[in-house]
């Protein structure tokens, strides 16, 4: 989990020495009750059917209070403010978004 948090968000955690870290507990909560059969159904059933199923049936307990979304937005904001770059997946996504905006701007200028 530590490697994934670092690779994806550039976030340093120590899940072995700090198992009560909020990031660690949130990740564990997402994967509670993971069921392969239900996960398989998630790929087979149309999206509109999931809206009618109880949340307990969903294959993963997604981020219902937007914790991971907020963490990601805060990391992006901080990086833009400081100009600091990291070698992680989030930085790759940020760079791709910047390149897309730049390309769209060039297309509009032509």
Q: What is the DSSP letter of 87?
A: S
Tokens encoding 45: 């059933």
Domain range summary for the chain, segments of one domain joined by +: 1-33+65-108
- How many CB atoms are located within 10 Å of the residue 84 CB? 10
Residue-level pLDDT at 61: 60
What is the average pLDDT across 1-6?
89
| pLDDT, tens only, 83-94 | 999 999 999 999
Q: Long-range pairs for 74-80 at CB < 8 Å and ≥24 separation?
A: 75/9, 75/10, 75/11
| pLDDT, tens only, 17-67 | 999 999 999 888 877 767 777 778 777 888 788 778 776 666 656 666 788
d(CA 99, CA 94): 9
- Counting Cα atoms < 13 Å in the Cβ hemisphere of 11 gives 21
Question: CB–CB of 9/71 below 8 Å?
Answer: yes
Confidence of residue 13 (pLDDT cuts 50, 70, 90): very high
């Amino acid at each position: 989990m530590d490697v994934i948090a670092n690779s994806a968000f550039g976030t340093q955690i120590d899940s072995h020495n700090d198992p009560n870290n909020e990031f660690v507990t949130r990740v564990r909560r997402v994967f509670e009750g993971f069921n392969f059969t239900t996960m398989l159904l998630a790929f087979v059933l149309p999206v509109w059917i999931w809206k009618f199923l109880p949340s307990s049936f969903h294959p993963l307990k997604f981020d219902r209070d937007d914790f991971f979304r907020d963490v990601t937005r805060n990391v992006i904001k901080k990086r833009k403010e400081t100009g600091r770059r990291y070698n992680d997946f989030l930085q790759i996504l940020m760079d791709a978004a910047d390149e897309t905006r730049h390309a769209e701007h060039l297309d509009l200028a032509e």
